[in-house]
Amino acid sequence: MAAHWLPGNRKMERKRLVMRFFKCFCVGSLLWMSGAGAVMAQEAELTETLPNIFCLVDRTGDGANSTFIITNEGVIVIDTRGSEQEAGQVLKAIREVTDQPVVYTINSHFHKENTSGNAVFRSGNSIIAQKRAQAMMILKAEQEQRAVTPPNLTFEKKLEIKLGQYHLKLIHPGPAHTDGDLYIYIPKWRIIITGGLVFNRIIPFLGDGYIESWIHALREMEDLDAEVIVPGHGPVAGKPIVTQMKHYLMELKRYVNDQLDDGKNLPDTMQAVKEQLKGKYGGWQHFERVDENIVRAYLEYSAQQGT
């Protein structure tokens, strides 16, 4: 028997192959993330989701949504988009409905399409994020040698904000889309603003994700009394989009684990799982991201199996 088929060597070969594929997909993901803002500037639509709760919805599937809440004591902004120019569009939209000052700015996680406009809102208000999101924002800016306006107020697990007639619950569900996610629940209005935890009919970006705990976070959301869901990506909808997102991740997990149980290598797994996902999810935007998602799932679950 050839040496490379021995169990120990096969494990090492599999890990080397996974890491080689993963590095390639990470490079592609970084290029996608850095270029998202250039398209978004002309491809967002303002909708009033509920009275005094507005969402600037990205229509491309590349950038992030931004939400703002008008209270009788000031404005709350959630996610500042992919550039200062785009953040300026958010501020312009706010000024079309109110002259109240922005009191709180919230970053749902550290990705650039959610935080690059922070500087526009830094004057006279608190910028809030989960503490690991703040750390990652600073680290990424140092690595890329670019300016950053990091949050100046952080929390670990939960934070409550009361402004005017609105009471917001900021919840960190644990590692999910990233290591420092938060989502916002407003019980009185039965609305969840999900940040990067929900993509509505868009294949999610998994480059910084943790599939198993992301599924848990979505189950947590399903248990909340909510009717309106503002996703991080895609149009505003109802609670079924949370379940839809959960099902995508669960099916990705199941199909990849089936391949691992059968001893399949990464290329074979990618081919098989992509075909399995295509029937149900082929109509989602950015189906090409499925390849990267399979690699991420293979890496996560092969590590759990010790293979």
Residue type, 81: R
Return the structure tokens found at 226. Answer: 């909510």
Return the structure tokens found at 283. Answer: 């109509």
Give the separation between CA 307 and CA 305, rounded to whole angstroms. Answer: 5
Return the structure tokens found at 236. Answer: 């505003």
Q: What single DSSP character describes residue 123?
A: T
Give the separation between CA 243 and CA 100, rounded to whole angstroms. Answer: 36
Asked whether residue 202 is domain-assigned, the answer is yes
Residue range(s) defining the domain that contains residue 265 = 3-33+249-305
**Are residues 200 and 253 part of one domain?**
no
Tell me the backbone φ, ψ of residue 107, rounded to 5 degrees.
-100, 120
Q: Which of 238, 258, 276 is the last residue of a domain?
A: 238
Q: What pLDDT is recorded for position 167?
A: 98
Asked whether residue 134 is domain-assigned, the answer is yes
Q: What pLDDT is recorded for position 125?
A: 87
Give the separation between CA 40 and CA 72, rounded to whole angstroms. Answer: 30
**Cβ within 8 Å of residue 14, ≥6 positions away:** 265, 266, 302, 307
Q: What pLDDT is recorded for position 307?
A: 59
Return the structure tokens found at 147. Answer: 């300016």
**Are residues 128 and 56 part of one domain?**
yes
Tell me the backbone φ, ψ of residue 42, rounded to 5 degrees.
-110, 5
**Are residues 193 and 48 part of one domain?**
yes
Give the separation between CA 237 and CA 200, rounded to whole angstroms. Answer: 8
Q: Which of 218, 238, 258 is the last residue of a domain?
A: 238
CATH of the domain at 57: 3.60.15.10
**Are residues 264 and 200 part of one domain?**
no
**Are residues 278 and 226 part of one domain?**
no
CA-nearest of 185, 153, 151 to 166 is 185
Give the separation between CA 115 and CA 151, rounded to whole angstroms. Answer: 9
**Are residues 63 and 115 part of one domain?**
yes
Contact in structure between 55 and 46 (CB atoms under 8 Å): yes
**Are residues 183 and 295 part of one domain?**
no
Q: What pLDDT is recorded for position 261?
A: 97
Q: How many CB atoms lie within 10 A of CB 83?
A: 21
**Are residues 102 and 155 part of one domain?**
yes
Asked whether residue 297 is domain-assigned, the answer is yes
Give the separation between CA 185 and CA 198, rounded to whole angstroms. Answer: 14
Contact in structure between 108 and 167 (CB atoms under 8 Å): no
**Are residues 228 and 151 part of one domain?**
yes
**Are residues 183 and 55 part of one domain?**
yes
Q: Which of 180, 207, 238 is the last residue of a domain?
A: 238
Asked whether residue 243 is domain-assigned, the answer is no
Asked whether residue 38 is domain-assigned, the answer is no
Q: Where are the beta strands (DSSP E) in the chain?
A: 44-50, 53-58, 66-71, 74-78, 102-106, 126-130, 153-155, 158-163, 166-171, 183-186, 191-193, 228-230, 237-238
Asked whether residue 89 is domain-assigned, the answer is yes
Residues of the chain with pLDDT under 70: 1-42, 306-307
Asked whether residue 267 is domain-assigned, the answer is yes
Asked whether residue 39 is domain-assigned, the answer is no
Give the separation between CA 286 and CA 202, rounded to whole angstroms. Answer: 6
Give the separation between CA 220 and CA 226, rounded to whole angstroms. Answer: 12
Q: How many residues appear in the chain?
A: 307
Number of domains in the chain: 2
